[in-house]
Structure 1
């Protein structure tokens, strides 16, 4: 009793050929990899820098203090 594979062997061989033929970095080979490897970290870093800058500005001007 054997279990059916998730994908046909031909599809796996086709995908392997595609990924082995692409001459990019390993983390940028898929179609949506630029979003997960580049855009999301840049967005997180940008928002962190914005919040840090806003906090420093508020502290230096005494804005938003709790009494």
Structure 2
């Protein structure tokens, strides 16, 4: 039975180039990629901001008796 070899996803030179780039960047591990600021900073900040707004609105509504069901 002949063993089939699968071609690599990307050329070896590109892989080595990416490895060199990521090993030389002196940032936190979770901020090394080009879009990591979006996924590691912006999205959690937006979620936290939205949650704080909704909590504040709920407290305001409860303290003023707004939106009660009969």
| TM-score, scaled to structure 1 | 0.98
Which structure has the bigger radius of gyration? 2
Mapping for residues 1-67 of structure 1, pairs under 5 Å? 1-67=4-70
How large is the Cα RMSD of the aligned pairs?
Answer: 0.4
- The runs of 4+ residues in structure 1 deviating greater than 4 Å are none
Distance in 2, matches of 1:17 and 1:46, equals: 37
**Structure 2 unaligned blocks of 5 or more:** none
| TM-score, scaled to structure 2 | 0.94
**Structure 1 unaligned blocks of 5 or more:** none
Q: Kindly provide the CA deviation profile for residues 14-36 of structure 1, in whole angstroms up to 9, marking residues without a partner as x.
A: 00000000000000000000000
> What number of residue pairs does the alignment pair up?
67
Distance in 2, matches of 1:35 and 1:60, equals: 36
